[in-house]
Amino acid sequence: MTRTLDLAVIPGDGIGPEVIAEALTVLRAAVGDSVEVHETRYPLGAGHYLATGEILDDATLDALRQHDAILLGAVGGDPRDPKLAGGIIERGLLLKLRFAFDHHVNLRPTRLYPGVTSPLSSPGDIDFVVVREGTEGPYVGNGGAIRVGTPHEVANETSVNTAYGVERVVRFAFAEAEKRRRRVTLVHKTNVLVHAGSLWQRTVDRVAAENPDVTVDYLHVDATMIFLVTDPARFDVIVTDNLFGDIVTDLAGAVGGGIGIAASGNLDPSGAHPSMFEPVHGSAPDIAGQQKADPTAAILSAALLLRQSGLDEAAARIERAVEHDLAGRGNAARTTGEIGASIAEFVASST
Amino acid sequence: MTRTLDLAVIPGDGIGPEVIAEALTVLRAAVGDSVEVHETRYPLGAGHYLATGEILDDATLDALRQHDAILLGAVGGDPRDPKLAGGIIERGLLLKLRFAFDHHVNLRPTRLYPGVTSPLSSPGDIDFVVVREGTEGPYVGNGGAIRVGTPHEVANETSVNTAYGVERVVRFAFAEAEKRRRRVTLVHKTNVLVHAGSLWQRTVDRVAAENPDVTVDYLHVDATMIFLVTDPARFDVIVTDNLFGDIVTDLAGAVGGGIGIAASGNLDPSGAHPSMFEPVHGSAPDIAGQQKADPTAAILSAALLLRQSGLDEAAARIERAVEHDLAGRGNAARTTGEIGASIAEFVASST
Ligand SMILES: CC(C)[C@H](C(=O)O)[C@@H](O)C(=O)O
Ligand SMILES: CC(C)[C@H](C(=O)O)[C@@H](O)C(=O)O
């Protein structure tokens, strides 16, 4: 009996459709005949919103919920468009999906592949993964303001952290570490954010006691910045909150050779909701439709999708093909389609 | 009539006393006979707290208030000491001073001096200043927790932002830009922290309209990470909130050649309270007392102190001497005292 994989595909805005096209070609090549892949496309994003007034209605959310996994390109329009101000698409679509589908683990691996140039002069052997909490912290929308627009305005933002929410993501990080080099670094700001910091630190201490073979350390988020550019090879698994994770992973992507190759998975590891896979990069409207975007981040996100779906061999095939492609890349300019085709070809030849 | 400069000196913990000794030698050399420098030493810090149980009492705070300026080395003890847990010294001393003396501008310049090695392979011409808000944001201590230690714990942290607090620091940033390359970048996370973000953005827009000769742009804090390692030369003045400023300035220090040379001023530009000058680095207890610390950050902090005190020529003499010293440094290992003496000598010879 052939296995099926029922995908929701959200190509999105800007370069999203271009990179997603390549990711799907490579994904299909990787699974070959062993998996029947169904694709349902959802035309969501800034363009769709400007055309229809809809960002993400309940019916669409219910439809998305039925799929095995979601593959997303990038969403977001021209940042100077006043109709898109205040992150209306990011919050109404991307964050809404993460919260609705309980994507509490935002998994973001960084690896400096051979052949890839880091902006660091001595990057060392960069290979770590950030486990970013995805459903709490300052992302909960728990802020407000009074006297807006007056000299007496007060605008507050609240970071919410729960024992339930922190523990499950810390446990996930330790499980990842067990599969890797067995080293977990908690990143926070416990000397200032004392209540949230204490909850994170106590949770890590407790889970660490259950995993004595894992080495655990702690870094303030500011000190983490320094180590990420002076000794990124020291990291194996970083576990951190939603906002610190956002900041750390963009820097991680940059030192690991650029967000053109940085993949991510928004996971509900319980399987109760579909997980969602997306490149870390945005929609880059300035180069959209020109075949200039690097589809590698989207392709590696498809590999994460396959691994999360239990298709480890197909995922590994993609990762090997990307590794091969990056190693031989040099400085030759290739189109989005050429990069995708070359990776797909190597995947097919290794099946 | 000789001018006087009445300094409060807090050498602090770890390498603090060593670097402060050099900073004072250089400061005295820079002002020469033109200024009568008074020093009053305050033995505050983790060591003092462990010995006496006092962090910063009201009488000491009142005494500090009488000085023209405060020069601080570094405070903080062994991070694993349970008696120092939860940032008790950082909050009870450093942050208490910043709040009590209304240090709403935390000024942190970054410059890649000739002769200094950046961890970036193509750093370019790095020369910018971060204007970090110092009395609001998530630093206000406005958090709390319920059901602590149970599976139902909820720990919140609140970022407080006011029109009053944001406007004064934004105005300071524009005034800095007018003295520099006339470019201000607001760093925030307006697409997620919508209430605080909107206040910051509207304030920048309003002040920008009054300063049409200043070019203004906006970057999300995550994207800022990328630019700080791929194109740090693009920045002139960054204005940002307390927490983002903490994160951005450690990365800035690192790409600008290391926090061994990163200086900072905690300013109350109104002059109502003494401003406080300190290196960005911490107390580094592991190398304390070994003459291994680089006193340059403390020396450059003393230069900021002189400039803030209206002693621009003396400040410039220190900066030129540091520039000279850094340019000739190479890889030769020198003690803290040797570096300080060499800079002081150059300062004296240029007076
Ligand atoms: C678009 C934005 C809301 C999002 C985030 O902050 O999580 C993005 O930066 C990311 O990292 O996926
Ligand atoms: C010690 C700590 C409270 C402090 C801060 O977060 O402001 C430090 O990191 C700094 O940047 O001066």
In order, the DSSP letters of B221-266 are: HHHHHHHHHH-GGG-SEEEE-HHHHHHHHHHHHHHTT-GGG-EEEE
Judge whether residue B180 has pLDDT over 70. yes
Nearest CA to A75 out of A125, A5, A10, A160 is that of: A10
Check whether residue A35 and residue A82 sit in a common domain.
yes
Q: What is the pLDDT of residue A123?
A: 97
Q: What is the pLDDT of residue B1?
A: 59
Token couple for A233:
């090879």
Q: Give chain B positions within 8 Å (CB) of A163.
A: 147, 150-154
Q: Note the pLDDT tens digit of each residue in B198-252.
A: 999 999 999 999 999 999 999 999 999 999 999 999 999 999 999 999 999 999 9
Check whether residue A167 and residue A286 sit in a common domain.
no
In the Cβ-directed half-sphere of A25, how many Cα atoms lie within 13 Å?
19
**CA separation for the pair A233, A251 (Å, rounded):** 14
Protein residues whose CB sits closer than 6 Å to any atom of ligand 1: A 90, 94-95, 246; B 191-192, 222
> Which residue of chain A comes nearest to B76, CA vs CA?
A191
Q: Which atom belonging to ligand 2 lies closest to the Cα atom of B98?
A: 7
Number of H-type helices and E-type strands within chain B: 12, 12
Judge whether residue B120 has pLDDT over 90. yes
Q: Note the pLDDT tens digit of each residue in A241-295.
A: 999 999 999 999 999 988 899 999 999 999 999 999 999 999 999 999 999 999 9
- Say whether residue A39 is in contact with chain B using an 8 A CB cutoff: no
**A289 marked ligand binding residue:** yes
**CA separation for the pair B215, B211 (Å, rounded):** 9
Q: Give chain B positions within 8 Å (CB) of A121.
A: 118-121
Last residue of a domain, one of B230, B256, B282: B256
Question: With the CA atoms of B96, B102, B107 and B108 taken in that order, what torsion angle do they form, in degrees rounded to the nearest 10?
Answer: 10
Mean pLDDT of all residues in A130-152: 98
Check whether residue B251 and residue B153 sit in a common domain.
yes
Neighbours of B115 (CB within 10 A): 14
Check whether residue A264 and residue A249 sit in a common domain.
no
Check whether residue B9 and residue B48 sit in a common domain.
yes
Reduce the DSSP state of residue B204 to 3 states and report it. helix
Task: Indicate the residue of A167, A221, A254 with minimum beta-carbon distance to B229.
Answer: A254
- To which residue do tokens 């010995």 refer? B51
Reduce the DSSP state of residue B307 to 3 states and report it. helix
Q: Which atom belonging to ligand 2 lies closest to the Cα atom of A222?
A: 9
**CA separation for the pair A329, A331 (Å, rounded):** 6
CB contact under 8 Å between A91 and B192, yes or no, is: yes
**CA separation for the pair B348, B30 (Å, rounded):** 7
Question: With the CA atoms of B32, B35, B36 and B40 taken in that order, what torsion angle do they form, in degrees rounded to the nearest 10?
Answer: -100
Report yes or no on A21 lying in a domain: yes
Q: What is the pLDDT of residue A350?
A: 87
Check whether residue B94 and residue B207 sit in a common domain.
no
Report yes or no on B232 lying in a domain: yes
- To which residue do tokens 């304390």 refer? B288
Q: What is the pLDDT of residue A2?
A: 80
Reduce the DSSP state of residue B286 to 3 states and report it. helix
Decide if A127 is catalytic: no
CA distance A338 to chain B (A): 26
Token couple for B265:
């001023």
pTM tops 0.85: yes
Task: Indicate the residue of B121, B153, B163 with minimum beta-carbon distance to A121.
Answer: B121
User: How are beta strands A3-12 and A69-74 bridged, if at all?
Assistant: parallel
Backbone angles phi, psi at B4, to 5 degrees: -115, 155
Reduce the DSSP state of residue A223 to 3 states and report it. helix
Q: Note the pLDDT tens digit of each residue in B75-105.
A: 999 878 999 988 899 999 999 999 999 999 9
Check whether residue A85 and residue A28 sit in a common domain.
yes
Judge whether residue A331 has pLDDT over 90. no
Last residue of a domain, one of A238, A256, A274: A256
The rounded percent of chain B whose pLDDT value lies above 70 is: 99
Cα B88 to averaged position of ligand 1 atoms, centre (Å): 33
Question: With the CA atoms of B136, B139, B143 and B148 taken in that order, what torsion angle do they form, in degrees rounded to the nearest 10?
Answer: 180
Q: In what order do the strands lie in the sheet containing A154-162? A: A137-146, A154-162, B154-162, B137-146
Check whether residue B168 and residue B278 sit in a common domain.
no
Report yes or no on B109 lying in a domain: no
- Say whether residue B254 is in contact with chain A using an 8 A CB cutoff: yes
Check whether residue A96 and residue A144 sit in a common domain.
no
Q: What residues are paired with A4 via a beta bridge?
A: A36
- Say whether residue A260 is in contact with chain B using an 8 A CB cutoff: no
Token couple for B300:
């450059």
What domain range includes position A92?
1-103+260-351
Check whether residue B162 and residue B246 sit in a common domain.
yes
Q: Is B29 left (phi over 0), alpha (psi -120 to 50) or beta?
A: alpha
Which CATH number covers residue A332?
3.40.718.10
Q: Note the pLDDT tens digit of each residue in A194-248.
A: 999 999 999 999 999 999 999 999 999 999 999 999 999 999 999 999 999 999 9
Output helix, strand, coil percentages for chain B, rounded to the nearest 5. 45, 25, 30
- Residue A311: its H or E element: none
The residue contributing the CA closest to ligand 2 atom 6 is B246
The residue contributing the CA closest to ligand 1 atom 1 is A90
Nearest CA to A340 out of A9, A32, A116, A27 is that of: A27
**B348 close to B31: Cβ distance less than 8 angstroms:** no
CA B84 to each of CA B50, B76, B88: distance values in angstroms, whole numbers, following the listed order: 9, 8, 6
Mean pLDDT of all residues in B29-46: 97
Check whether residue A42 and residue A75 sit in a common domain.
yes
Backbone angles phi, psi at B336, to 5 degrees: -55, -45
**CA separation for the pair A275, A146 (Å, rounded):** 37
Check whether residue B304 and residue B252 sit in a common domain.
no
Token couple for A49:
């919103």
Domain count, chain B: 2
Last residue of a domain, one of A256, A280, A314: A256
